[in-house]
Amino acid sequence: MSRSQRLLDLLQLLRNHRFPVPGAQLAATLGISLRTLYRDIATLQQQGADIAGEPGMGYVLKPGFTLPPLMFSEEEIEALVLGSRWVASRTDTGLSLSAKSALSKIAAVLPEDLRHSLDSNGLMAAPSASPLAESVDFVAIRRAIRHELTATLTYRDGKDQSSRRVIWPFLLGYFDNLHILGAWCELRGDFRHFRTDRIISLELNATRYPRRRSALIKQWREQQFPDRPAQ
């Protein structure tokens, strides 16, 4: 186990206890000596963890302390790397570049041993078999979703018939060889799913749609997956 992983595990142990925990108990749980435990606690205190206590009295992590956001376990790093690689290979250009940039920023601030895990990770996301041609502005779509804006859409369906409608975008799904925009359609008065490769044009409107995105997603899930328990 790396030292960074051990420090993270120690913090997690302390967070699970409301009252002081004897040092011997912490050391036994982590499989380390008391001397190593004392050094690790001193290191965490120097890094800002508000740990109270002393040898013979036990240790407690005071309420309000949150784990540093860049202290990841090795499995968490593997999940981040795999997820970022999937995004980089299976989504639109904007998200792909953002995923690569985020991974670089994480690598720059990780401890050396965890940075090595990031660089030498053996997990791979296979590239899309047939990358989609991007005919729509995904940045605009994500902005509409994020800010709950209505949009005017011109769409060509599977029968090659075009229509123009006002929609409330709330969901963007990335599949292996297909991207789907989920929205409430004012023309149909119901939820509709639009393949992004069939969108002829999409213009954002200045008006926000009258419902919250969370409410739309909840209703959409209830209609699409009626047998699933509520989340």
Q: Which domains does the chain have, with CATH numbers?
A: 3-61 (1.10.10.10), 74-119 (no CATH), 138-224 (2.30.30)
pLDDT tens digit sequence for 90-117: 888 888 888 888 888 777 667 676 777 7
Kindly report, residue by residue over 172-227, the tens digit of the pLDDT: 998 877 899 999 999 999 999 999 999 999 999 999 999 999 999 999 999 998 87
Residue with tokens 């213009």: 203
- The CA radius of gyration of the chain, in Å to the nearest whole number, is 25
CA–CA dist 202, 213 (Å, integer): 19
Q: What is the pLDDT of residues 17-73, one digit of tens each?
A: 878 999 999 999 999 999 999 999 998 888 778 888 877 789 998 876 555 545 667
Residue type, 119: D
Average pLDDT over residues 140-165: 94
Q: Could you tell me if 138 and 188 are in contact, meaning their C-beta atoms sit under 8 angstroms apart?
A: no
| 1 to 5, 18, 69: CA distances (angstroms) | 6, 26, 20
Question: φ, ψ for residue 14 (rounded to 5)?
Answer: -65, -35
pTM of structure: 0.63
